[in-house]
Chains A and B, each alone.
Chain A
Amino acid sequence: MSAGGPLALAGPVGRVAGGGLTRRRLQTIVIGLVLLVSCAASVLALGLVVESESPFDHAFAAQHGADVTAVVNPGRASHDQLAATAHLAGVTAAAGPFSQVTTSAEAPAPAQFGGGMAQLPAITLAGRASPGGPVDQLVLQSGHWATAPGQVVLATGQSGPQIGLPLGAHITLNGLPGKPTLTVVGTANSVTGSADGWVVPAEIGRLSSPSTPVSEQMLYRFASASTLTALHADAAELTRALPARAVAGTQNYLAARDSETSNAAPFVPFLVAFGVLGLVMSVLITANVVSGAVVAGYRRIGVLKSIGFTPGQVVAAYTGQVLVSAIVGCLAGVVLGNILAMPVLAQTANVYQVGALHVPVWVDVMVPLVMCCLVAIAAVLPALRAGRLSAVQAIATGRAPRTGRGYGAHRLLGRLPLPRPATIGLAAPFARPARTVMTMTAIGLGATAVTLAVGLTSSLNDVVQGLSHANAEPVQIQLPGGGPGPGITEVPQDCPPGAVVTTPKGSHVCGAGGPQPSAAAAQRAVQTALAAQPGTAHYVAEANQQVSIVGLTQPVSVTAFRGDATWTGYDLISGRWYSGPGQVVVGSRFLAVTGSRVGDTVTLEVNGKQVPVKIVGQAFNTRDNGLTMLTDWPTLARAEPGLAPDTYDVGLQSGTSATAYASSLQNKLGSHYFVAINDAHSDVLDVMLALIGTLTLLLAIVAGLGVLNTVVLNTRERVHDLGVFKVIGMTPRQTTAMAVCWVAGVGLIAGVIAVPVGIAMHRAVLPAMASAAGTGLPPSYLTVYHGVELGALALAGVAIAIAGALLPASWAAAIRTGAALRAE
């Protein structure tokens, strides 16, 4: 070796590494692709898991959320006094004052609800010149910020209008004189929901009236704000610092965080499950590909050693060769992972009700670092082994699998009544048991992900149906003065007298056309209309009340049904439906909070009367966070003699259009009633299905790349045998079939094993998701795999194997016979 030092030594090593890269282009590309997809899947999965751990906290920190929002009476505190509160001891940042008004509004209803205008909940509009600031930075999620009067940016998330208005829609502020309109120009998120919408500051003056006075909004961040006690102390200090009765009210961030936690928690178990699958697969396949690439180069290593390369130089050359393609693949994978994560995280942020979620920078750095370290280890170990072998041994080892391996399998499989190329292919994996086990594991994990995804999709659809009752009771009728029934998300909270409601038949003023009907008259009207309406299958009246439970400080929502309600779509987790007075069916959280079980007796307190009831069943019902109770009419009427229904649940005959039915019924009943269609659509479900689909696809691709690599390595090792097969008359199609069979048998076994593993994961993940959401699950939501489906899922492994094998199998078939025969 020359005396030129490390640089001179690096020359030959670099040339060998470079030669390997260019000479083995296919292998270089495969390594790069595997690392690309593995890194992308890892970045996506890990990023989602990290962001799901506490999305609110991340967003709160990123958006400088307000610890305390104070609403101030401008008549009692001047701007200077408000500005001075920013310098109070303990205040680390302040924004405002922002003028705000609260008024009623109406907006166009979606077409599936019959069009027309829908009354919105009371809306609070604040005047802000820009979305930024030292506190409560708003994240613009669509459109642009308001730049002129007449424009409004609506809030997304918890305080956003529930009707989902598109950009360009017009809101009519019907609680104000002149009923001014605003055009929706954008949507934005305030992590604590400081307002329902934002306009330019000058707009607030136009929107104020004697009935809608202007108040001032101040936003604060405090040094000590981690507990409710600290937040109360902060609010008290603020109140003391301003003139008496200047502070009309305060709100802290903890309520917003509690709401987000219940939304985010169910995601974590299934993200962790897919994330772990993805990371394990990535590690496995990367190690398989890289170590296989080095082992395939043993003969070359032997030749290098025979011309004087030291073991250290051999290790350096091969590790460097694989690291080059791995680094390129990792960097591209980080970019791809972030690109894939953007839409998914945007949807997830919406569900979590936070402004924005991003893949943390440390994930972008850590994933490629770990992957490259893994690649280095996977390359160094076999390269070290080759370096220790003599040149002759390395050449001999690199030629073919050890003699004797797989011979028995050939003899056994050769007896099967299958085409000979297939039996030869099926026996091949036995010659390389370690590679076969790794390939089978990778395929198995991919097939497990498919099985888990199929099960989760079915179960989540069951969950949405179970929560919405859309199948059982697609239509609900809200009586005058009644509250919203379960499952209805698009019901106006009230119809203030004088407010305009437009139906397809025309506009009506709430309360116009006569006084509001009495409860008895309303019931008669609804029952008459339902009896006469074509398509009505059955209906039941329900009354919803808040009652106290002896021993419990928080109220419980009770729904009492008048008539048979067994068809209303409540799926039971345990126990049974009530069969008579004095029996109730409760939600999971009720049992948790009261410490009771099915079979126990609890006591309702209504109007000072105590009513003991027996819990006979637990229903899947997350309304009011599961603190719910279902019972029959006499049970509640015992303590509430004047009990009257507020809602009618309607089941339709098969083939009846819910939209047409609801529209027709609304026209007949008039504007005092609201006929709503149960919507089974769920943003949460959409996000989960998108995540499931994306992660499953990535995992299947990674598994397929692992298969591709295995077939490429097999082809290279057996190139001489391929030549012999072709000489004796194996056609290209037979060669392709044989090469596919190298992995098809392995895929079949992996797929069969994956089915029970995937089912077991499903049985673990789904209850964990439900538990995180504070509810149990009906057993039927877990038994979603059936005969034909199971058979198809068992073939998922074969499908992955064939998909990964087809391309390299066709290359094997196209190998030139003469060149193959000359290969050693």
Chain B
Amino acid sequence: MDALVQLSNVTKRYDNGGPAAVDDVSLTIAAGEAVAVMGPSGSGKSTLLNLIGGLDRPTSGAVTVAGQRIDQLGETGTARFRRTQVGMIFQFFNLLEDLTVLDNAMLPAQLGGMRRPKARARAGELLAALGIERHANAYPARLSGGERQRVAIARALVNRPALLLADEPTGALDTATGDQIGRLLLDLNASGQTLVLVTHDPALAARYAHRTVRLTDGAVASDETRPSARDAAAGVGR
């Protein structure tokens, strides 16, 4: 498989001379992979995700996503990169409370210059696929946690990004709802969406990703790949 994400000796320090939040990490993620990034609090999981998503710049090293050196882009460049190549979902959803569900989902498309009717159609399609089209004109405050996360997923996918980054996507949800979201992510990955998932829950990682990268003190402690249930059934990886 082609490498979609490549980190080469990436280090991130927030203070000069202070400890590295990410310490000399080299990592490759192929297109279509589902990768869980795990580790205790302060291990650098979210920092790593931010670096891959272009929300932050490494102190040293190179970050390449979809063939583009995103560590060399300016603010405008990284914004455009995120708009087209990356979809992000968060533990606390990060929806805009004064926009409707549909407006939230459409927004990245409109920021990219897509006309309202086309963006509306695309967002509507995603909301329907995620089973929340009936809430299109509702405001996020009226939705349950699971429904809000689905809105966030719709928003993340509206521009058909190559990469979906999820930072503790089920952390604010109850177990049953979390399972639903997890299966959703699994289905997305099964349809070819590359997924990088940050979690501290080993069960979640095992269930929804076939590769787990463990970080300790900013460095990669282990990188294990398991065959997915489907692959195991198909004899892949033997």
User: Are the chains A and B members of one assembly?
Assistant: yes
Chain A interface residues toward B at CB < 8 A: 400, 403, 406-407, 410-411, 414-415, 417, 420-421, 427, 431, 720-721, 723-734, 813-814, 817-818, 821
Tell whether B96 is near chain A: CB-to-CB under 8 Å.
Answer: yes
The stretch among B76-84, B192-200, B201-209, B216-224 that forms the contact with chain A is B76-84
**How many CB-defined contacts (below 8 Å) exist between A and B?**
74
- Chain B residues lying within 8 Å of A731, measured Cβ to Cβ, are 75-76, 79-80, 111
Interface assignment of B42: CB less than 8 Å from any CB of chain A:
no
Bitwise interface map of B from 138 to 176 toward A, beta carbon under 8 Å scored 1, else 0: 010100000000000001000100000000000000000
Known interface pairs A407-B98, A729-B82, A821-B94. Does A421 touch B111 (Cβ–Cβ under 8 Å)?
Answer: yes
Contact B98 A732 (CB under 8 A): no
Q: Contact check: which of A721, A729, A733 meets B96 at CB < 8 Å?
A: A721
B107 on the interface (CB 8 Å rule)? yes
Across the interface, which residues of A come within 8 angstroms of B99, CB to CB? 410, 414
**Which B-chain residue is minimally distant from A423 (CB atoms)?**
B110
B177 at the binding interface (Cβ < 8 Å): no
The answer to whether A403 and B83 touch across the interface, beta carbons within 8 angstroms, is no
Query: A730 — which chain B residues lie within 8 A by C-beta?
Result: 79, 111
- Measured between alpha carbons, how far is A821 from B95 in the docked complex, in Å? 11
Report whether B97 and A728 are in contact in the complex, using a CB–CB cutoff of 8 Å: no
Cα(A734)–Cα(B97), bound, Å: 20
Tell me the bound Cα distance from A411 to B136 in angstroms. Answer: 12
Contacts A421-B111, A727-B55, A731-B80 aside, 8 further interface pairs with beta carbons under 8 A come to A414-B99, A723-B94, A728-B88, A728-B111, A731-B76, A734-B111, A813-B75, A818-B55
Q: State whether the Cβ of B228 lies closer than 8 Å to any Cβ in chain A.
A: no
**What CA separation (Å) do A732 and B74 show in the bound complex?**
10
- The complex places the Cα of A407 from the Cα of B79 at a distance, in Å, of 26
Q: Is B112 an interface residue (CB 8 A)?
A: yes
B108 beta carbon closer than 8 Å to chain A: yes
Beyond A731-B76, A818-B56, whether A420 also contacts B96 by CB under 8 A is: no
Chain B nearest Cβ from A436, distance in angstroms: 15
Most chain A CB atoms below 10 A, which of B90, B96, B139: B96
* Contact of A729 with B97 in the complex, beta carbons under 8 Å: no
A420 touches B76 (CB 8 A): no
9 nearest interchain CB pairs?
Answer: A729-B83, A420-B110, A731-B79, A728-B108, A731-B76, A724-B94, A817-B55, A729-B82, A732-B75
Scoring A420, A734, A813 by chain B CB atoms within 10 A of each residue's CB, the highest score goes to: A420
Interface residues of B in 78-130 (CB under 8 A from A): 79-80, 82-84, 88, 90, 94-100, 103, 107-108, 110-112, 116
Please name all residues of chain B whose beta carbon is closer than 8 Å to the beta carbon of A400 when the two chains form the complex: 97
CA of A727 to CA of B159 in the docked complex: distance in angstroms? 13
Contact of A410 among B50, B55, B79, B103 (CB under 8 A): B103
Chain B residues within an 8 Å CB radius of A727: 53, 55, 82, 88, 94
A427 to B97, CA, bound (A): 13
Question: Could you say which of B80, B90, B103, B111 contacts A414, with CB atoms under 8 Å apart?
Answer: B103
The verdict on A403 contacting B108 (CB below 8 Å), with A732-B79, A818-B50 known, is no
User: Chain A contacts of B88 at CB under 8 A?
Assistant: 727-728
B82 touches A407 (CB 8 A): no
Q: Which residues of A contact B83 (CB under 8 A)?
A: 728-729
Which residue in chain A gives the minimum CB-CB distance to B97? Answer: A403
Q: Which residue of A lies closest to B94 (CB)?
A: A724
Tell me, rounded to whole Å, the shortest Cβ–Cβ distance linking A494 to chain B: 78
In the complex with contacts A406-B98, A431-B98, A733-B76, A728-B107 CB distance below 8 A: yes
Chain B residues near A726: list those with CB within 8 A: 55, 79
Alpha-carbon distance between A410 and B103 when the two chains are bound, in angstroms: 9
Chain B residues, CB < 8 A from A406: 98
Q: Give the CA-CA distance A414 to B106 in the complex, in Å.
A: 11
CB-defined contacts of A421 to chain B, threshold 8 Å? 111
**In the bound complex, what is the Cα–Cα distance between A565 and B108 (angstroms)?**
73
Q: Which residue of A lies closest to B56 (CB)?
A: A818
- Least CB distance, A812 to chain B, in whole angstroms: 12
* A732 vs B97: C-alpha distance when bound (angstroms): 22
What residues of B have a CB within 8 angstroms of the CB of A403 in the complex? 97, 141
In the complex the two chains form, what is the Cα distance from A729 to B83 in whole Å? 4
Across the interface, name the chain B residue whose C-beta is closest to A734.
B111
- Residues of A close to B96: CB separation below 8 A: 721, 724-725
Closest Cβ neighbor of A403 among chain B residues: B141
> Complex Cα distance A220/B80, Å?
84
Chain B residue contacts of A410, Cβ below 8 A: 98-99, 103
A400-B141 Cα distance, complex, nearest whole Å: 13
Chain A contacts for B107, CB-based, 8 A: 420, 728
**CA A501 to CA B82, docked complex, whole Å:** 85
The distance in angstroms between the C-alpha atoms of A389 and B160, with both chains bound, is 47
CB distance from B221 to the nearest CB of A (A): 24
Contacts of A414 in B (CB 8 A): 99, 103, 116
Chain B neighbourhood of A420, CB < 8 A: 107, 110-111
Name the distance in Å between A730's Cβ and chain B's nearest Cβ: 6
Distance of A420 Cα from B107 Cα, bound (Å): 8
Q: Which residue of A lies closest to B82 (CB)?
A: A729
**Interchain CA distance A723-B88 in the complex, whole Å:** 12
- Within the complex, what minimum Cβ distance (angstroms) separates B157 from chain A? 12
C-alpha gap A711/B98 in the complex (Å):
18
Question: How distant is the Cα of A351 from the Cα of B23 in the complex, in angstroms?
Answer: 76
Of A400, A431, A729, A818, most B-chain CB atoms within 10 Å: A729
Bound CA span A726–B88, Å: 11
Q: Tell me which of A721, A729, A732 contacts B108 (CB under 8 A).
A: A729
- Judge whether B98 and A729 touch: CB under 8 Å: no
Contact B76 A732 (CB under 8 A): yes
A417 to B82 CA separation, bound complex (whole angstroms)? 24
Q: 20 A-B Cβ contacts within 8 A?
A: A407-B98, A414-B116, A420-B111, A431-B98, A723-B94, A726-B55, A728-B82, A728-B88, A728-B107, A728-B111, A729-B79, A729-B84, A729-B159, A730-B79, A731-B76, A733-B76, A734-B111, A813-B75, A818-B55, A821-B90
- Residues of B55-87 contacting chain A, CB below 8 A: 55-56, 75-76, 79-80, 82-84
Which A residue's beta carbon lies closest to that of B119? Answer: A420
- B53 partner residues in chain A, CB cutoff 8 A: 727
Within 8 Å CB of B55, what residues of A?
Answer: 726-727, 817-818
Bound-state CA distance A734–B80 (Å) is 11
- A813→B78 CA distance, assembly (Å): 13
A411, A427, A723, A728, most chain B CB atoms within 10 A: A728
Q: Measured between C-beta atoms, what is the minimum distance from A397 to chain B in Å?
A: 15
Q: Give the chain B neighbours of A817 by CB distance below 8 A.
A: 55-56
Q: What string of 1s and 0s marks CB contacts (under 8 Å) between B33-69 and chain A?
A: 0000000000000000010010110000000000000
* Cβ contacts under 8 Å, A415 to chain B: 116
Contacts of A821 in B (CB 8 A): 90, 94
B75, A728: Cβ atoms under 8 Å?
no
Q: Please give me the residue from chain A that is nearest to B76 by CB atom.
A: A731
Q: How many angstroms between the C-alpha atoms of A734 and B159 in the bound complex? A: 18
A814 neighbours in B (Cβ, 8 Å): 75
Interface centre among B55, B90, B98, B141 (most CB of A within 10 A): B98
Q: Complex formed: what's the CA distance from A407 to B103 in Å? A: 11
> How close is B140's CB to chain A, nearest CB, in angstroms?
10
Give the CA-CA distance A414 to B105 in the complex, in Å.
Answer: 13
A484 to B53, CA, bound (A): 85
Which residues of chain A come closer than 8 Å to B56, judged between CB atoms? 817-818
B75 touches A411 (CB 8 A): no
Is the Cβ of A729 less than 8 Å from the Cβ of B103? no
Contacts of B141 in A (CB 8 A): 403
A410-B103, A818-B56 known; A728-B76 Cβ under 8 A: no
Question: Do A407 and B139 touch (CB < 8 A)?
Answer: yes
A342 to B50, CA, bound (A): 58
Cβ–Cβ < 8 Å partners of B103 in chain A: 410-411, 414
On whether the beta carbons of A729 and B94 are closer than 8 Å, the reply is no
Residues in B neighbouring A734, C-beta threshold 8 A: 79, 111
Closest to B87 in A: A728
A426 to chain B, nearest CB (A): 13
Residue of B nearest to A821 (CB): B94
Q: How far is the CA of A285 from the CA of B100 in the complex (A)?
A: 34
Give bound CA distance, A726 to B75, whole Å.
9
